[in-house]
Structure 1
């Protein structure tokens, strides 16, 4: 693992004040051969989230320089965090900084996965921010109950997302994305725009009854699709064609060097 702060190797003195700081946002991505899929979407996310949380953003060229400094030709998992050194529980304003962490590449779990359901709505759902203790708590509780993970149901009874995942469903001919206040993930955005280019039907709708659907997956920065074969008490069919379609769409997204 490597950790860099503002484009330079981070020391223990750099990292100690940030150990449990809970006011920051980030984007996670897989690096393949020194390149990244959906780089424009990651830049957009970091820019927009900074404006929400700080009222300003790092220039794209600074973000790209920090990414380049942390990436070599190897494959890796990478997380890019934007923060201020003052941390949380203060309104003091400082210059924005960036911490980039790399680790081994990942393709996610093999699946299929069984998800329990929990009534939960994340704070500031459109921003990928740190400090969300509920996600890990509900994941741990799900495992205790014999599930692999947890999916969230909002106050209107709609499935929204899972702990660290977006949800996607298949009705036999179209991809169904849940209608709810969610974090629209970068992988989800990549898949949606590539499905559009492939001419695959897709729609956004409230999902309250999965028993009528023909397949389900979770996706995040690790993978465009891991099969879900149970949500709560409802078993779901495994659609290999749906899974192949999502992976094809993702693979069609070109890799780009920062």
Structure 2
């Protein structure tokens, strides 16, 4: 049984299936960690795919169709994997109204960095930031540039100076009494959404507000999160240093782990 599974519309993908996609890029996706063939925030992943398909293709696939494709891919691999479901249009470079198709790929379970991480800010605004779409060179280019300056990764600041997200991460901050989420155009991560709804149930204070570079010294902690992990501590953004309390990181992990794993 291989950890690497690639299927198109619920069947093993052939070279003929994949060759046209090597140079295509009109697609969106969602990425998740699967444990014991179960997924946290499955409803949020399905909602993400529906919303992006409606916005990019003008039509959506039934949830049950997507779930069937997920089940087929998971049945062919081990119980613990990383999984990416990509929805694409077979009418690349065309306005033809064709049903979207789905590629599902699995690989080894993710091992997130332990941190702490340092982030260099860069002015950058994603196209269609509300969709998790493919072909974004900035997610690799800017972290590589940050590394040449001695940083671990990059955080994005828009033209108005608002911090929004990092390269492949959402950002969250701690002000000493509440989790603070930055307000700016960005991709709302599934892990972020899971953590937010579970923090509400745990009674942990949280708020959203605009955060600029000038606001950073007033915050007592920062983390990044994505499908790999609900929190990796950040100890520096540009020249602002954080003594991110481990208790903050633990709150986020506890919230995430309180979300039940669900079978597709």
Q: Which ranges in structure 2 are unaligned for 5 or more consecutive residues?
A: none
Q: Is residue 62 of structure 2 the alignment partner of residue 59 of structure 1?
A: yes
Rounded Cα–Cα distance in structure 1 between residues aligned with 2:29 and 2:250: 29
- TM-fit CA distance, 1:131: 0.9
Q: Secondary structure at the match of 1:203?
A: strand
Corresponding residue to 1:178 among 177, 182, 193: 182
Corresponding residue to 1:50 among 37, 50, 53: 53
Matches within 5 A, 1:164-175: 164-175=168-179
Rounded Cα–Cα distance in structure 1 between residues aligned with 2:260 and 2:9: 27
Q: Is residue 244 of structure 2 the alignment partner of residue 238 of structure 1?
A: yes
- TM-fit CA distance, 1:170: 0.3
Q: Is residue 28 of structure 2 the alignment partner of residue 22 of structure 1?
A: no
Rounded Cα–Cα distance in structure 2 between residues aligned with 1:74 and 1:55: 34
The residue that corresponds to 1:156 in the other structure is: 160
The residue that corresponds to 2:120 in the other structure is: 116
* Number of residue-to-residue matches in the alignment: 257
- TM-fit CA distance, 1:158: 1.0
Matches within 5 A, 1:11-160: 11-72=14-75, 74-87=79-92, 89-160=93-164
The residue that corresponds to 1:224 in the other structure is: 230
Q: Secondary structure at the match of 1:71?
A: helix
Deviation track 1:144-165 (CA, whole Å, cap 9, x = no partner) reads 2111110001111111100100
Rounded Cα–Cα distance in structure 2 between residues aligned with 1:6 and 1:158: 40
Deviation track 1:66-89 (CA, whole Å, cap 9, x = no partner) reads 0000114510000001111222x3
Rounded Cα–Cα distance in structure 2 between residues aligned with 1:195 and 1:126: 23
Q: Which ranges in structure 1 are unaligned for 5 or more consecutive residues?
A: none
Q: Secondary structure at the match of 1:227?
A: strand
Greater displacement, 11-20 / 121-130: 11-20
Q: Which aligned segments of 4 or more residues in structure 1 are displaced greater than 6 angstroms?
A: none
Contact map agreement 2:59 2:99 (CA 8 A) in 1: no
Q: Secondary structure at the match of 2:99?
A: coil
Corresponding residue to 1:197 among 198, 201, 225: 201
Deviation track 1:22-80 (CA, whole Å, cap 9, x = no partner) reads 10000000000000000000011101110000010000000000000011451000000
When the two chains are superposed, the root-mean-square deviation of aligned CA atoms in Å is: 0.9
Q: Secondary structure at the match of 2:23?
A: coil
- TM-fit CA distance, 1:134: 1.6
Rounded Cα–Cα distance in structure 1 between residues aligned with 2:105 and 2:23: 16
- TM-fit CA distance, 1:135: 1.7
